[in-house]
């Protein structure tokens, strides 16, 4: 039996469960970073929420640590890489609050439709204002769901019961999966133009930050009402306030804000806006679920059993042939997602060479991790990646052959009309991209990359280089691959920084350039 250090308030059923399993539950709340380093010594498990930072220093001090459990979804406060290096399992409770979050979205949706908070405030202030707070029915209205993951799917189920027409934007969900849910997939611009209500359920990252801003709001259907229970910053609060003042948007219901905690926002002064202080997961049931789930995971980890919500993996049992290719496989998945701008309906993974007979299951999981990295609100792990693929209707096909023509080992991905292949090269086994969209290239993967498809004519490299140079972006490496016919070429560039949107627009508008995609690895 082990000692479990709990540094934040956990629901009592979770504490009781670990104690009943025979573990010593040591609750020490509000520890300073220095006190945490001292308290972690001798602990076999650490249970936290969002306030405790599990740094490399903390992990180094916890020499007896087997598992770190986060009673919730996000893992921004845990150094997962350092934990993996030390063989410490990291687990979370990814499904503990999804029902509560979905119900919060529905509560704000109804509050917006019927002006309930405003009418309540007026009545208790001594004003009987029936005509002023006239609302609208949900029945027959179009609900645009931005992000059709677990929470978005639950909202869709509930909105169908109100007789709403459902449309959605989510590049990581297949059309067949959406159709099965009674949802029509479309572009974000089309969704904004057709929806009476829009509810946001996306992860917050570089791609989604400010996604619904002034330009997108200007394209919206007049009278739109917006609900956001996902993350603050996805909806530009200032732009939303201006759109409401201008009459383009009727109102909004917000549970999250760009800065939290906050008591100031341009939206707070607008009578058609309903707000809450991030209460999406603040239900008794969600807190109990998180505590019980994380207690169950900790108990399994300390017993050495299979842990279903582990977000990292101990690769000690992976063959020495396969292990070096895990990072490359994840990078290839990210690149394919960038080329596809989402998720293909079918993913084909081909292994050639010595890899083919060495147990490639972990590599396929690595590919899925990369593919879903930017498309889900919860951390993507080796454990939940197959479940995410099934939920989003992705069909995965694997083939292997011990024969490799040009390379000792090769991993090739195909899906949605795009393809990418990579291998390890040189005495230090460094990753190399060797094919993109059936164009032969050779370039190392990099954090910031851009793929340009252009006419195979003189001067095109100069056009691209000039635009990037004017934007203050340096080219770190570059490869050019002509097509078999010689009519088009593909440029793959690694850049010193993310390319600004203005520069990307210039590239796409340049004569002779037919396609531009940014990818991150």
Distance CA(440)–CA(481), nearest Å, equals 5
E strands, 312-371, where? 346-353
Q: 3-95+284-312: which CATH number, 3.40.640.10, 3.40.50.720, 1.10.10.10, 3.40.50.10860?
A: 3.40.50.720
424 has which bridge partners? Answer: 431
Contact assessment for residue 73 and residue 93, using Cβ atoms and an 8 Å cutoff: yes
Q: Rounded to 5 degrees, what are φ and ψ at 460? A: -70, -35
Tell me which CATH homologous superfamily contains domain 316-519: D-3-phosphoglycerate dehydrogenase; domain 3 (3.30.1330.90)
C-alpha R_g of the chain: 25
Closest alpha carbon to 1 in 80, 89, 64: 64
Distance CA(244)–CA(42), nearest Å, equals 56
Instruction: Delimit the domains of the chain by residue range.
Output: 3-95+284-312, 98-275, 316-519
In tens, the pLDDT along 135-186 reads: 999 999 999 999 999 999 999 999 999 999 999 999 999 888 899 999 999 9
Q: Rounded to 5 degrees, what are φ and ψ at 199? A: -120, 135
Q: How many CA atoms lie within 13 A of 12 on its CB side?
A: 1
Strand order in the sheet with 418-425: 395-401, 346-353, 409-415, 418-425, 430-436, 439-443
DSSP code string of 258-278:
SSSS-S--TTTT-TTEEE-SS
Contact assessment for residue 219 and residue 193, using Cβ atoms and an 8 Å cutoff: yes
> What does the buried/exposed string (b/e) look like for 474-489 if buried means 16 or more CB atoms within 10 Å of the residue's CB?
ebbebbbbeeeeeebb
Q: Look up residue 73 and give its DSSP letter.
A: S
Enter the pTM of the model: 0.80
**What's the pLDDT score for residue 486?**
66
**What's the pLDDT score for residue 315?**
46
Contact assessment for residue 44 and residue 66, using Cβ atoms and an 8 Å cutoff: yes
In tens, the pLDDT along 291-318 reads: 999 999 999 999 988 788 888 865 445 6
Q: How is domain 98-275 classified at the CATH fold level?
A: Rossmann fold (3.40.50)
**What's the pLDDT score for residue 21?**
96
* Catalytic residue list: 231, 260, 278
H or E stretch at 16:
helix 12-20
In tens, the pLDDT along 334-354 reads: 999 999 888 888 999 999 988
**What's the pLDDT score for residue 322?**
85
Fold equal for 3-95+284-312 and 316-519? no
Angle at 287 between CA 285 and CA 290, to 5 degrees: 105
Q: How many CA atoms lie within 13 A of 410 on its CB side?
A: 18
H or E stretch at 429:
none
Closest alpha carbon to 309 in 92, 18, 53, 39: 92
Per run of 10 residues, the mean pLDDT along the chain (length 521 residues) is 94 96 96 96 95 95 95 87 88 92 98 96 96 96 96 97 98 90 96 98 89 96 97 96 97 95 94 95 93 95 86 65 89 93 91 83 90 78 80 91 85 94 91 92 91 90 93 92 78 91 92 90 79
**What's the pLDDT score for residue 316?**
46
Specify the residue for token string 């796409």. Answer: 508
Q: Exposure of 272 by Cβ count < 10 A (0-12 exposed, 13-18 middle, 19+ buried)?
A: middle
Specify the residue for token string 């970073």. Answer: 33
**What's the pLDDT score for residue 313?**
65
**What's the pLDDT score for residue 291?**
95
């Amino acid at each position: 039996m082990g000692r479990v250090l709990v540094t934040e308030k956990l629901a009592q059923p979770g504490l009781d469960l670990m104690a009943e399993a025979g573990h010593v539950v040591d609750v020490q709340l509000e520890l300073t970073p220095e006190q945490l380093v001292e308290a972690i010594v001798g602990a076999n498990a650490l249970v936290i929420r969002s306030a405790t930072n599990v740094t490399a220093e903390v992990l180094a001090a916890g020499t007896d640590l087997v598992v770190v459990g986060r009673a919730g979804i996000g893992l921004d406060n845990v150094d997962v890489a350092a934990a993996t290096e030390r063989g410490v399992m990291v687990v979370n409770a990814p499904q503990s609050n999804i029902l509560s979050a979905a119900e919060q979205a529905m509560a704000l949706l109804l509050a917006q439709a019927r002006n309930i908070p405003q009418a309540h405030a007026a009545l208790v202030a001594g004003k009987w204002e029936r005509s002023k707070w006239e609302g609208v029915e949900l029945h027959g209205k179009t609900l645009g769901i931005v992000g059709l993951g677990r929470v978005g799917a639950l909202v869709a189920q509930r909105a169908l019961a109100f007789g709403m027409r459902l449309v959605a934007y989510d590049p990581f969900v297949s059309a067949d999966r959406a159709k099965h849910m009674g949802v029509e997939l479309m572009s974000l611009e089309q969704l904004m133009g057709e929806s009476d209500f829009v509810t946001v359920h996306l992860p917050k990252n570089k791609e989604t930050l400010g996604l619904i801003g002034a330009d997108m709001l200007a394209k919206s259907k007049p009278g739109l009402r917006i609900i956001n229970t996902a993350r603050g910053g996805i909806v530009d609060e200032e732009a939303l306030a201006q759109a409401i003042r201008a009459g383009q948007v009727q109102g909004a219901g917000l549970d999250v804000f760009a800065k939290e905690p906050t008591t100031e926002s341009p939206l707070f002064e607008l009578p058609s806006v309903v707000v809450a202080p991030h209460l999406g997961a603040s239900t008794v049931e969600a807190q109990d679920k998180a505590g019980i789930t994380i207690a169950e995971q900790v108990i399994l980890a300390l017993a050495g059993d299979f842990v279903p919500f582990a977000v990292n993996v101990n690769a000690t049992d992976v063959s020495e042939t396969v292990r070096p290719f895990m990072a490359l496989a994840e990078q290839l998945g990210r690149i394919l997602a960038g080329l596809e701008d989402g998720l293909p309906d079918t993913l084909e993974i081909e292994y050639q060479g010595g890899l083919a007979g060495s147990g490639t299951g972990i590599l396929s999981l690595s590919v899925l991790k990369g593919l879903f990295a930017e498309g889900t609100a919860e951390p993507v792990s080796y454990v939940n990646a197959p479940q995410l693929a099934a939920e989003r209707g992705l069909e995965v096909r694997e083939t292997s052959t011990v024969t490799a023509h040009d390379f000792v080992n090769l991993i090739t991905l195909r899906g949605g009309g795009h393809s990418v292949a990579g291998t390890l090269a040189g005495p230090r086994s460094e990753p190399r991209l060797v094919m993109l969209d059936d164009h032969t290239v050779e370039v190392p993967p990099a954090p910031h990359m851009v793929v340009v498809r252009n006419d195979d004519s003189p001067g095109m490299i100069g056009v691209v280089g000039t635009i990037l140079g004017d934007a203050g972006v340096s080219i770190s490496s570059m490869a050019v691959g002509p097509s078999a016919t010689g009519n088009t070429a593909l440029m793959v560039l690694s850049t010193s920084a993310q390319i600004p949107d203005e520069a990307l627009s210039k590239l796409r508008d340049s004569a002779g350039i037919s396609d531009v995609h940014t990818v991150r690895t």
